[in-house]
């Protein structure tokens, strides 16, 4: 495998590429988003992960528009998400247009369904809305967030049903899924499901909100490599083949979290850092039953 760099990208089932390191903007106020995302661009990030729920799409869009004065549009990757309250055909379809308007972009690189709410029929409808958005050129790649394996199995059924209803190849392509993933919430069942189907995995909260600083193995590895514990966690995610989305509003930490390419964990260290704990620090819709 070629050495990882800040320019490393992963090819998605849609045929498009996504930069492997992303920058998360959850809880960043819209009024600050343009400046903070601008700092991320200065640090070399080219992949921004937002959502309608974050209410900062406009600020992200302004930062992207500023960057486009010096680089082509296809060298910047922007993600947004349909809110949990809009997981149905009509609202999901409208959300795509709203996000395009908010950001001022001509297309969205990746649109996700934020969580498996709404019930089965509405989840199918929302997915159909994203499929149509791809067909209309408004979105390039589509996926889901916070889906459990049972939700993913259901989505496969929905894709088959849509193909039967709309024609072969018109059920949509699941390119990516996003979950809270880190050594204390590894979600190997979901990762294995995705790996079997070539679906890319994004990892939000890869730094565990700082709640695991000082864990013995993490501290040991940070000391060994002369790196911060945050850098070790980002590196772990990259070497697992995931797409980590570290988030910070502090310029020095934004730069620091991208400075993870001058060292490499051994295979044994990647395994040693991972635990069998299931301790998410965020919400966990993966456990919701299908009827929810």
Cα torsion at 121, 174, 202, 270 (round to 10°)? 120
The Cα 46–Cα 181 span in angstroms is 21
Q: Which residues pair with 108 in a beta bridge?
A: 139
Question: What residues contact 14, with CB distance under 8 A and at least 6 apart?
Answer: 134, 140, 141, 142, 173, 175
Distances (CA, A) of 125 to 86, 87, 91, 142: 11, 8, 10, 14
Question: What residues contact 8, with CB distance under 8 A and at least 6 apart?
Answer: 2, 19, 20, 21, 238
The Cα 264–Cα 224 span in angstroms is 11
Angle at Cα 82 formed by Cα 81 and Cα 85, nearest 5°?
Answer: 135
Q: Is 54 a catalytic residue?
A: yes
The active-site residue out of 45, 107, 114, 182 is 114
Q: Is 150 a catalytic residue?
A: no
**Gyration radius (Cα) of the chain, Å:** 18
The Cα 93–Cα 79 span in angstroms is 16
Distances (CA, A) of 207 to 103, 213, 226: 27, 9, 17
The active-site residue out of 45, 54, 107, 204 is 54
The Cα 113–Cα 120 span in angstroms is 13
**Residues labelled as active-site residues:** 54, 114
């Amino acid at each position: 495998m070629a050495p990882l760099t800040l320019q490393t990208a992963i090819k998605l089932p849609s045929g498009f590429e996504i930069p492997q390191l992303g920058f998360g903007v959850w809880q960043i106020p819209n009024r600050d988003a343009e400046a903070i995302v601008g700092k991320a661009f200065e640090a070399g990030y080219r992949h921004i992960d937002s959502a309608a729920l974050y209410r900062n799409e406009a600020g992200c869009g302004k930062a992207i528009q500023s960057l486009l004065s010096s680089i082509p549009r296809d060298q910047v990757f922007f993600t947004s998400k349909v809110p949990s309250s809009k997981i149905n055909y009509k609202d999901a379809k409208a959300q795509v247009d709203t996000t395009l308007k908010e950001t001022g972009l001509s297309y969205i690189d990746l649109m996700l369904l934020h969580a498996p709410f709404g019930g089965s029929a509405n989840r199918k409808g929302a997915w159909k809305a994203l499929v149509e958005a791809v067909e209309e050129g408004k979105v390039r790649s589509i996926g889901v967030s916070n889906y459990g394996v049972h939700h993913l199995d259901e989505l496969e059924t929905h894709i088959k049903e849509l193909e039967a209803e709309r024609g072969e190849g018109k059920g949509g392509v699941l390119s990516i899924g996003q979950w809270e993933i880190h050594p204390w919430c590894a979600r190997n069942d979901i990762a294995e499901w995705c790996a079997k189907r070539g679906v890319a995995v994004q990892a939000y909260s890869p730094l565990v909100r700082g709640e695991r600083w000082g864990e013995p193995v993490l501290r040991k590895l940070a000391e060994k490599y002369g790196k911060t514990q945050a850098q070790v966690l980002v590196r772990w995610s990259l070497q697992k083949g995931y797409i980590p989305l570290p988030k910070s509003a502090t310029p020095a930490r934004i730069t620091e979290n991208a400075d993870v390419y001058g060292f490499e964990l051994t295979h044994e260290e990647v395994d040693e850092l991972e635990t069998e704990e299931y301790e998410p620090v965020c919400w966990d819709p993966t456990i919701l039953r299908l009827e929810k």
